[in-house]
Amino acid sequence: MKKISLLLCLFLFISCDNSDDLDCALISFAPQLFFIELVDDQGNNLIENGTYVREDIEVFFNDFNVGGATGPEDTSFENLIFLTLMGESGDNEFRIELSDTETDILNLNLTVEPGICGVSIFTAVSATYNGEVQNIEEIVIELQKITVIK
């Protein structure tokens, strides 16, 4: 999460334009996150039950680490995989490394809208996980999640 925050701060620092009406240096932007819950056919969370080890999970976009798994300190989103939304309008592929031997692929179709201070606003329109279409649910405003049965 520290890497994501640092990259977001650097992005905001270089993206602010002096011609903006707002002082971008005074605005703090949180990264737009997307969540994945992995469950078995009984609905049991596969991170919570130890099938997947939280610390082993990494998410990559263009070979850049953009996510992992939430821990117990994130009580609202505990035992979920998170990734920072990024990419271009259209299809974007995220590689999810669940362990040294298991890798899944998430394809997100995104829309990208311009936001204030040059920050783009991403919305996932559709999701395909390992080739299977997934239902996207909005868990709170602008936070989306899919639940994948493995």
52 inside domain: yes
Question: Which residue segment(s) compose the domain that 62 sits in?
Answer: 2-13+28-149
How much is the pTM?
0.80
95: amino acid identity, one letter:
R
Coil vs helix vs strand at 134: strand
23 inside domain: no
Q: What is the CATH number of the domain that holds 110?
A: 2.60.40
51 inside domain: yes
Give the model confidence (pLDDT) of 65-95 as tens digits.
Answer: 999 998 767 777 889 999 999 999 999 999 9
Structure letter (DSSP) for residue 62:
T
Which helix (H) or strand (E) is 4 found in, with range?
helix 2-15
Structure letter (DSSP) for residue 132:
E
Query: How many structural domains comprise the chain?
Result: 1
21 inside domain: no
Q: Check residue 7 and give its pLDDT.
A: 44
139 inside domain: yes
95 inside domain: yes
**Helices assigned H by DSSP within the chain:** 2-15
